[in-house]
């Protein structure tokens, strides 16, 4: 009887527990920037900044574009994947396993007021778990480039 009461009490506590809140940046080295710019304008400014800083757009995943294709409207939501061949060669020379981490993703979301927010992980945080000195050197170089991309995109 005591066991049954204990089990029922436990179920009641679990059922009454508040829902878990989303963790918006679960990984170390995550940067989030409120741009203050309209989503569409910021996407264009970011793309210009990527090129101006010597990097290339490898791919652009556009969730809001895909949603429109099925007749659904969602706030702007895009992932712009950025890298450059010389960095890819250096990365793979340092660690083939780290190849899964490239390209670096820049995630742009549209807020309720129409402004864009940028979220990305610093390359040094992305590559740190591999614990390879040459990879760490490259990642720190990329940190500076990505910081400049972000700064320039906000002008």
Give the chain's domains with CATH numbers.
Answer: 28-153 (3.30.310.70)
In the predicted model, residues of the chain with pLDDT beneath 50 are: 1-18
What is the four-CA torsion angle of 123, 129, 132, 138, rounded to 10 degrees? 0
pLDDT of residue 19: 53
pLDDT of residue 14: 40
pLDDT of residue 23: 72
pLDDT of residue 6: 41
Cα angle: 21, vertex 68, 108; to 5 degrees: 50
* The residue to which tokens 């402004």 are assigned: 115
**CA distances to 2, 60, 76 from 142, in Å:** 61, 19, 27
pLDDT of residue 20: 59
pLDDT of residue 4: 43
Percent of the chain with pLDDT over 90: 82
Give the whole-angstrom CA distance, residue 59 versus residue 37: 22
pLDDT of residue 120: 98
């Amino acid at each position: 009887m005591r066991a049954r009461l204990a089990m029922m009490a436990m179920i009641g506590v679990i059922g009454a527990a508040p829902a878990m809140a989303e963790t918006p940046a679960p990984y170390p080295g995550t940067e989030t920037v409120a741009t203050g710019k309209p989503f569409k304008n910021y996407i264009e400014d970011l793309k210009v900044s990527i090129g101006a800083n010597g990097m290339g757009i490898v791919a652009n995943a556009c969730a809001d574009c895909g949603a429109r294709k099925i007749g659904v409207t969602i706030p702007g939501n895009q992932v712009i994947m950025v890298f450059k061949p010389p960095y890819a060669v250096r990365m793979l020379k340092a660690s083939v396993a780290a190849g899964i981490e490239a390209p670096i993703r820049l995630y742009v979301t549209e807020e309720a007021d129409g402004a864009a927010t940028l979220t990305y992980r610093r390359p040094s945080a992305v590559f740190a778990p591999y614990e390879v000195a040459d990879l760490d050197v490259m990642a720190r170089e990329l940190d500076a480039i990505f910081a400049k991309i972000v700064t320039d995109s906000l002008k």
